[in-house]
A = this chain, B = another copy of it.
Amino acid sequence: MYNIIKLDSGVCASEGFFADGISAGLKPNGANDMAFIYSEVPCEVASSFTTNKMTAAPIRHFRAKGEFKTNFVMINSKNANAMTGTKGIADIDEILSAVTSIHTQLLNPVMSSTGVIGVRIPKEKIINGAKLFDLSVKNPHGAAKAIMTTDSFSKEIAFKIELEDGRSFNMGAMAKGAGMINPAMATMLCFITTDATATKQEMQEILDKAIITTFNAASVDGDTSTNDTVILLSNGKSGAFHKEAFAEALHTTMLFLAKEMVRDGEGATKLVTYKVTGAKDDLEAQKVAKALSDSLLVKTALYGEDPNWGRIASTVGASGVEAYEETLSVYFDELCVYDKGELLFNDAMEEKAAKVMKQSSFTISCDLGVANGSFTAYGCDLGHEYVKINADYRS
Contact = CB atoms under 8 A, between A and B. Distances in A.
Contact of A324 (B52, B53, B184): B53
Interface string A81-119: 011111100000000000000000000000000001111
A223 B296 contact: yes
A313 B117 contact: yes
Given A117-B314, A318-B52, A391 B387 contact: no
Contacts of A120: 343
A300 B386 contact: yes
A57 B62 CA distance: 54
Contact of A83 (B184, B313, B318): B313
Chain A interface mostly? loop
A316 interface: yes
A308 B330 CA distance: 39
Contacts of A321: 53
Nearest to A345: B118
Interface string A308-332: 1111011111101111111010000
A295 B184 CA distance: 14
Nearest to A53: B317
Interface string A47-71: 0000111110000000000000000
Instruction: Indicate the member of A317, A386, A388 with the most B CB atoms within 10 Å.
Output: A317
A301 B83 contact: no
Contacts of A316: 53-54
Nearest to A118: B310
Contacts of A387: 300, 303, 382-384, 386-387
Identical copies of this chain, number: 2
A374 to B, nearest CB: 19
Interface residues of A, number: 71
Contacts of A395: 306
A5 to B, nearest CB: 38
Given A304-B392, A306-B391, A315 B223 contact: yes
A308 B338 contact: no
Contacts of A182: 318
Contacts of A325: 54-55, 83, 85
Nearest to A299: B390
A345 to B, nearest CB: 6
A297 B180 contact: yes
A286 interface: no
A314 B226 contact: yes
A221 interface: yes
